[in-house]
């Protein structure tokens, strides 16, 4: 069968043996009614072949536990207008397979199972954001995170022309990391780590004449940005104190 599925309640739960399949329809899980919302705790599976920007939407909750999600042709939406107010995690062993993933929450989001996301769209969180991916990931939207920002993929990580803004450490790991000339990575006073895992690192903002300012720290991670600036002949952009950085 095929058709849109809408599950709406003051909180929504799903057992580990439950499977929700919308065929080519969309799936909406909404944990709030009339201004009241509660926990969404999903431990089973959601799947659709829908290819739209709302293939699977999970929204309007306090804390969130995500099930196995398959939307290979469409977009998985986690939160709308930051209407998930508590932390978001994944049920153990459950992964997200999606053409595109977007996130909008008011707390931390931790997606560290072995997910298979092709494109990471807009990300807005009120806490740390972490995504583990297999096969390669392209940013198709800007990220704005209050906290740390961590992406790790076994394939190429392509920032394209998208910005990443965080208030804590930024860690970008892939089998090669590329960045378009219009992209800016800003960790505030945090550190930036770019790890190519032996692949090519192509930070095009540097080659385009758009170097960044970095704050020198005492560990390896905090010195990566400084090392890149030294290599391109701009040591004056390396601040040795927080006062100089500001």
Strand 36-37 vs strand 32-33: parallel, antiparallel, or unpaired?
antiparallel
C-alpha 73/C-alpha 23 separation (Å) is 12
Closest CA to 96 of 132, 60, 128, 123: 132
CB 189 within 8 A of CB 215: yes
Residue partners of 167: CB distance under 8 A and separation at least 6: 145, 146, 147, 187, 188, 189, 190
CB 67 within 8 A of CB 42: yes
The H or E element spanning position 222 is helix 220-231
Residue 221: the pLDDT is 45
CB 208 within 8 A of CB 181: yes
User: Does the predicted model carry a pTM greater than 0.95?
Assistant: no
CB 121 within 8 A of CB 140: yes
DSSP 92: T
Q: What is the DSSP string of 180-205?
A: -TT--EE-TTS-EEEE-TTS-EEEHH
Which string of b and e fits 175-209 if b means at least 16 CB within 10 Å?
bbbbbeeebebebeebbbbbbbeeeebbbebbeee
**CA trace torsion 135, 140, 146, 148 (10° rounding):** 30
CA angle (214 as vertex; 240, 179 as ends), nearest 5 = 160
Residue 149: the pLDDT is 97
For CA atoms 81, 83, 86, 90, give the dihedral sign. Answer: negative
| Other Cβ atoms closer than 10 A to 161 | 15
- pLDDT values of the chain reduced to their tens digit, one per residue, 246 residues: 579 999 999 999 999 999 999 999 999 999 998 778 899 999 999 999 999 999 999 999 999 999 999 999 999 999 999 999 999 999 999 999 999 999 999 999 999 999 999 999 999 999 999 999 999 999 999 999 999 999 999 999 999 999 999 999 999 999 888 888 888 999 988 888 888 776 666 665 554 455 555 666 665 444 556 666 665 566 776 777 777 755
């Amino acid at each position: 069968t095929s058709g849109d599925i809408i599950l709406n309640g003051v909180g929504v739960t799903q057992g580990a043996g439950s499977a929700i399949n919308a065929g080519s329809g969309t799936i909406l899980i909404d944990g709030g009614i009339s201004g009241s919302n509660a926990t969404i705790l999903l431990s089973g599976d959601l799947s659709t072949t829908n290819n739209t920007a709302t293939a699977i939407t999970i929204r309007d909750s306090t804390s969130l536990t995500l099930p196995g999600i398959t939307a290979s042709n469409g977009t998985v939406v986690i939160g709308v207008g930051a209407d998930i107010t508590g932390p978001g995690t994944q049920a153990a062993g459950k992964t997200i397979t999606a053409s595109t993933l977007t996130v909008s929450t008011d707390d931390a989001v931790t997606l560290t199972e072995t997910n298979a996301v092709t494109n990471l769209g807009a990300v807005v969180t009120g806490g740390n954001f972490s995504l583990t991916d297999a096969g390669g990931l392209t940013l198709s939207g800007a990220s704005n995170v209050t906290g740390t920002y961590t992406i790790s993929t076994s394939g190429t990580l392509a920032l394209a022309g998208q910005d990443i803004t965080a208030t804590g450490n930024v860690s970008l790991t892939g089998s090669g990391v590329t960045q378009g000339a219009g992209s800016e990575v800003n960790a505030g006073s945090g550190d930036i780590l770019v790890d190519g895992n032996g692949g090519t690192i192509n930070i095009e903002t540097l080659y385009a004449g758009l170097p960044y300012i970095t704050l020198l720290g005492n560990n390896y991670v905090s010195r990566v940005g400084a090392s890149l600036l030294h290599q391109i002949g701009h040591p004056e952009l390396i601040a040795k104190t927080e006062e100089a950085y500001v």
